[in-house]
């Protein structure tokens, strides 16, 4: 009976020479390090008693086609309108957000932060309308300042920003 055959594979790593296996192992080690670091930070935050707070600001941008300051069947929402929201936190940090309206004319700004750094006061103001006919900002739509005193998870609704056409259609007169 012949002696059993034992297969042995010898791996040699040459310094400075990278192989696919080494790169994959390093990537996995890096991901594991990131995961462990993230779990450590998460546990440190929860142990330290830092409480998370989430705030949301939303509003609508509309086109007052006849420029008569009343809602009518000819009026419509503006998709893609740009709105800036500037907030000051309780710790004094100034945060600037840029938002665009969706197909329903609604913009939303939301953020989660520590309770001690939450928004204290904000200013929302329209920046531009990309609608070809409704590009003039209405007189009462220059901006809205407000205190943000909502509890975590609640939102603040801003009054609609109104654009009017540069030339009012004949059927409005």
pLDDT in tens, 4-49: 545 444 444 445 444 444 444 554 555 656 654 554 444 444 545 5
pLDDT number for residue 37: 56
- Mean pLDDT, range 70-83, rounded to an integer: 92
Under a CB-based contact definition with an 8 Å cutoff, are residues 62 and 164 in contact? no
- Per-residue pLDDT band for 102 (boundaries 50, 70, 90) equals very high
Better-scored residue on pLDDT, 102 or 28: 102
Phi, then psi, of 37 in degrees rounded to 5: -60, -45
Tokens of 108: 């939303």
Alpha-carbon gap, residue 50 to 54, rounded angstroms: 13
- What is the H or E stretch that residue 38 is in? helix 20-48
pTM above 0.75, yes or no: no
- Mean pLDDT, range 75-96, rounded to an integer: 96
- Per-residue pLDDT band for 96 (boundaries 50, 70, 90) equals very high
CATH number at 52-172: 2.60.40.10
Domain ranges (residues) in the chain: 8-49, 52-172
């Amino acid at each position: 009976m012949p002696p059993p055959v034992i297969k042995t594979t010898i791996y040699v790593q040459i310094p400075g020479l990278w192989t696919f296996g080494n790169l994959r192992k390093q990537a996995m080690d890096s991901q594991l390090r990131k995961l462990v670091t993230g779990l450590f930070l998460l546990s440190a935050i929860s142990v330290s008693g830092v409480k998370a707070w989430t705030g949301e600001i939303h509003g609508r941008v509309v086109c007052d086609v006849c420029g008569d300051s009343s809602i009518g069947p000819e009026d419509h929402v503006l998709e893609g309108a740009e709105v800036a929201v500037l907030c000051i936190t309780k710790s004094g940090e100034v945060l600037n957000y840029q938002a665009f309206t969706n197909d329903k004319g609604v913009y939303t700004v939301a953020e989660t932060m520590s309770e001690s750094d939450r928004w204290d006061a904000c200013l929302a103001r329209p920046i531009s309308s990309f609608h070809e006919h409704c590009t003039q900002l209405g007189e009462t739509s220059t901006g809205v300042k407000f205190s943000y005193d909502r509890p975590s998870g609640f939102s603040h609704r801003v009054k609609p920003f109104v654009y009017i056409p540069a030339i009012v259609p004949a059927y409005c007169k």
